[in-house]
Amino acid sequence: MNKLLKFLLACISILLSCTSGHSATPYPIKPIHLILPVPAGNAGDIVGRLLADRLSKNLNQAVLVENKLGGGGNIGAEYAAKALPDGYSVLIASSGIFTANKHLYKLNFDPLMDFTPITLVYSGAPLLVVSPKITFKSLQEFIDAAKKEPGKYTYASYGSGHISHIIAEMFKSAVSIDLLHVPYKNSPLPDVMSGEVDVIFESPLLVINNLAKLRPLGVVSLKRNVRLPDVQAISEVLPGFEITGWVGAFLQSGASQDVVQRLHTELVKAIKSPEFKSKLDDLMLEPGGNSTEEFTQYIKTMSDKVGRVIQDAKIKAE
């Protein structure tokens, strides 16, 4: 009887050790899926696939990319939110999903409650640019002219509720000017370059690729862009004015701390790799790699800031 009891106790001990966090099978043991709520071929997809390649090499495990489109990124994010929190479905998502969409849409998930932020992957500060028909050479000149003639100047966006719309409304409020909003369903850049619309907040890569037809007046960040050192940061005129676009990595709430930490370590290693940083330089983007705590706090701060802009400007999603 004693032998049987000892045998049963030994079996229980083995079972407990196998299910404990310290003795569990090392992560990952099967392919990881990166869920990208962007179309194949755009900048976010290109960077996401490069990240998948770096992660695969670091982890010695397949890392697959799934493009889940629609709803301003909400479809992909909801798909990821409903996945098992086991570390094998990683959302690589843009700032809009986590800072704007909860204020614009009725969602079937909570961006702040249903996900665990892992780390910032990259960021990029947009630029305020004007059409070649606008003669102003500085940001202050433009602000002064807009104050003198309220409603005269127009600004384009990629649609109501898009980050280009939100930044413009934030800027209008900060400097107390009135600009007429012209939303587009497709790219508004051709109409800005032709002079049909006066102003747009645009990505740095598109700006630098079209400098012959656009004039940048300011960067929406706390520092100047090293590729455009003569263009002042808007914060030089409006202290503290900043709202950058970014992409980050997320797991579902409930993922184990061991998996979160392992994924963070490997993501940061991939983000800091020379190959990844070189691609970001080509796209005029800044590498991330902050801690989970820093990233979590940053998202909450930006969500509050963007939410106030959306509420005050009465912005509605199309």
Domain ranges of the chain: 32-124+244-312, 127-236
CATH T-level fold of 127-236: D-Maltodextrin-Binding Protein; domain 2 (3.40.190)
- Each residue of 264-291: pLDDT tens digit? 999 999 999 999 999 999 999 999 999 9
In this predicted structure, what is the pLDDT of residue 24? 57
Q: What is the mean pLDDT of residues 281-307?
A: 95
Asked whether the domain spanning 127-236 has the same topology as the one spanning 32-124+244-312, the reply is yes
In this predicted structure, what is the pLDDT of residue 2? 44
Q: How far apart are CA 136 and CA 23, in angstroms?
A: 65
Tell me the CATH architecture of domain 32-124+244-312.
Answer: 3-Layer(aba) Sandwich (3.40)
How confident is residue 23, by pLDDT bands cut at 50, 70 and 90?
A: very low
- Each residue of 29-70: pLDDT tens digit? 999 999 999 999 888 899 999 999 999 999 999 999 999 999
Q: Is the C-alpha dihedral spanning 164, 165, 170, 173 positive or negative? A: positive
- List phi, psi (to 5°) of 287: -70, 150
